[in-house]
Amino acid sequence: MCGIAGFLTRNASWGRSDLERMTEAIAHRGPDGSGHYAQAPVFLGHRRLSIIDVAAGAQPMTNETGTRWISYNGEVFNHASLRPALENAGHRYQTRCDTETILHAYEEYGPACVERFRGMFAFAIWDETEKTLFCARDRLGIKPFYYYWDGSLFAFASEIKALLTHPALSAAFDESLLPEYLAFGYTSDDRTLFKGIRKLMPGHHLRLRADEPDSFRIESYWDARPDATQPADGDDAYWIRECRRRLEENVEMRLMSDVPLGLFLSGGVDSSAITALVRRMAAGPVKTFSVGYEEAEFSELAYARQVANRLGTEHHEVVVGMEDFFDALPRLIWHEDEPITWPSSVSLHFVSMLAAKEVKVVLTGEGSDELFAGYNRYRFYQWNQHLGPAYRMLPEFVRGWLRTSIADSNLLSAKLRRKLGHTILGRGESVESLYLDNFYSAFSAEEQARLLPGAPVGAAYASFSRYWEAAAGRTPVGQMLYADQKTYLQELLMKQDQMSMSASIESRVPLLDHTFVEFAAAIPDRMKIRNGEAKYIFKKCVEDLLPPEIIYRRKMGFPTPLRSWLMDARNAPLLANLRNKEGLLASVIHMPEMEALLRRHQGGEVDATDRLWRLLNLQLWGDIFVTGRRKVDAPLLTRA
């Protein structure tokens, strides 16, 4: 696990010193060493976190003849099985590193090399002979790859902040993405909030010849399609047995390490199952790490402790308080490069710092919900779809009357109105209303219209809709899972990467091996949601590993006591920051609308926690990256 950066240009005024600034900006990703290849027109930089072949794996790395160079971030877990064929083809190894396997595989197979790799990766290879730069990102987007291309300069890096140190680049806000940010908290296509800076999308690679600007090409090499080799008539026992076999294979493969390894343990079924498997596979002690809050009702520490005690792990915990949380926020926005979407990013940073005292690699349970339909929204949307045909038999005026009555009724309790409002009875039937507005959007379309007068209608959902439509031939559950894997999961993985790397540790996600994703896509819906039980197949396949009270307990989803914190009188500096007329918000939103939202929230009329969190993060992001008004280490709250 490392950090990469570099650029390709014919401009002789840019050189090694610019490359060194780029790699220094991401030193936290690789505190064990740095390396630079600076031979115009290409400049490759690397920061190393030593995991495999600690003594001999320095980068940028070259082949036997010095004609090809690579800067690489990630782990290819099947590299040892690829090596014999490459050696038989005449390639000579100098190390035990997967880095060298990637380089030799590119020499042997060209761009198709990526189709042979199992793991997480982002890399750039310079081919001196062909004067070509080849860059690739893993299938799921576990490792990040950002780039800038203006027709003459191509620059890339693991993190945006490294790009911003290049003298040709500067931070500017892409305001066209504001509707999508307010709705989701992130962007789901290749654009970022920084104008001109893009993401190489998961499962894509790009090529650029140094002397041919028009040669710039990006191509897709993988998509999350069902494994066609799976039987169409497989019974329950087959699916459960095969799921367990593949789960064990994925976990065992990710134990590859020459340095200490541990696990993030939340006490939920995903991380607990992985911990149980590692406990069976590992030769020595297993270290686990958990994070919780001072407010017990929002903390899962008791569950994590229960699992750790049962499995006999060396368990470590950290508790986060309100001041810890908010004072860390500016620096963590700097680490993520964009506004933090979910408060759990902050907690993830703290548990990563805890783990870094003991290990350099952690395994996590990320991805299970997006493979096996673990979120409540999947069940609700499926239920709404089942109800749809009968509901549509009612005349339109009756349906309109029902929606209005549910929203305005004084006879229904607030709780019942809220629940009915999530059903087809209380909403429009479009995917935008029934799925996105219902379960994703912090700001409704009506609120956005007031907050962003003049913004294009539908701009918030355009990117998501493309993925939704691309999966139109699947079942409703399959369609939701595919779209979430392309959007929501990408942001989760970015959070996982940036927050673990903020503490200079590597995180691995066994559940997101691409072969497992393809297998999961082939599993019938009845094995994912059954009788209201989400992730049915996953829970069944680990029943011998964990007690029922862990497997079948109510999902908490890593909640944060943010609502009560935002109501706390000590948070006056946060609200003052939101209102600051010199901040980014004042230039892009209708401030009286935000003021009205604040008053209603403080008065208890509405719960605007998610909306205020989104606005606060955008304001802080603007202060740090765009206006430069805030230093990343300046605390948000005044300490007593």
Tokens 């029943």 belong to residue: 543
- Rounded CA-CA distance 66/84 in Å is 22
Q: How many CA atoms lie within 13 A of 510 on its CB side?
A: 29
360 to 1, 141, 154, 286, 447: CA distances (angstroms): 10, 21, 32, 13, 44
What is the rounded CA–CA span in Å between residue 369 and residue 96? 35
With contact defined as beta carbons under 8 Å apart, do 406 and 416 qualify? Answer: no
What would the two tokens of residue 39 be?
Answer: 């031979």
Both tokens of residue 55?
């003594």
160 CB-near residues (< 8 Å, 6+ apart)? 146, 192, 194, 197, 337, 338
H-type helices in 215-364, by residue range?
236-253, 269-281, 301-311, 322-336, 344-356
| Pairing mode, strands 314-320 and 287-293 | parallel
Cα–Cα nearest to 104, from 118, 93, 96? 93
Residue 74: closest CA among 156, 28, 141, 162: 141
From the list 11, 631, 585, the residue with the least C-alpha distance to 329 is 631
DSSP strand pairing (361-363 vs 506-508): parallel
φ/ψ of residue 315, rounded to 5: -100, 140
Tally Cβ neighbours within 10 Å of residue 531. Answer: 6
Q: SS3 for 241?
A: helix
Q: Which amino acid, residue 106?
A: Y
CB 509 within 8 Å of CB 248: no
| Cis peptide upstream of residue 60 (ω within 30 degrees of 0) | yes
Residue positions annotated with a catalytic role: 2
Give the number of residues written for the chain.
640
| Three-state DSSP class for residue 8 | strand
d(CA 627, CA 170): 11
Measured from the Cβ of residue 396, the count of other Cβ atoms closer than 10 Å reads: 8
Smallest CA-to-CA distance from 104 within 118, 121, 119, 87 is with 87
Task: Report the DSSP pairing between strands 197-199 and 146-149.
Answer: antiparallel
The sign of the CA dihedral 78, 79, 85, 88 is: negative
Q: How does DSSP assign 524-592, residue by residue? A: -GGGTEETTEETHHHHHHTTTTS-HHHHTSPP-----THHHHHHSGGGHHHHHHHH-TTSSHHHHS-HH
Best CA proximity match to 292, nearest among 235, 354, 230, 385: 354
Task: Identify the CA nearest to 359 among candidates 44, 6, 51.
Answer: 51
